[in-house]
Amino acid sequence: MQPIKRVLTSKIFLFCLLLAIIWLGLVSVRTWYKRYQMDQQISALKSEISKMEKSGSELSQLIKYFNNQSFLEKEAKDKLNLKNADENVVMVPEAAIGQELSARQAASTGQPAAPQPAVQDNNFIKWWKYLFGR
């Protein structure tokens, strides 16, 4: 019993025991830090997965909308100037629309219609008039 007690109380044994405790502490801290990093990565990946699922559902809704017959007809009318067989197309110049709107506003308020502004000359004609006085 005496030799075991002497070994357990020796300075070399206590020093080795202290080194073992420090080493175990470092290993435990390193393992905890790696686990913490993995948890952070997992939460980031979960949030990215939820974002991807959301954008995937939005894209699937867009695909359904783009494949809808009413959308295709609207795009064909707007971009390709097509019409259905039972439709009639009327072309109205934009200047006539502006004059009609101002006439309606004047009629609704009881005031005379405002005169339309004169057509502006382009820059070349303005210089010609300035230089030659015509």
Higher pLDDT, 35 or 84: 35
Mean pLDDT of 43-60: 97
Find the helix or strand (DSSP H, E) in which 119 lies. Answer: none
This prediction has a pTM of 0.46
| Four-residue CA torsion sign, 94, 100, 103, 107 | negative
Mean pLDDT of 26-55: 97
Q: Please check whether residue 73 is in contact with residue 84, taking contact to mean a CB–CB distance below 8 angstroms.
A: yes
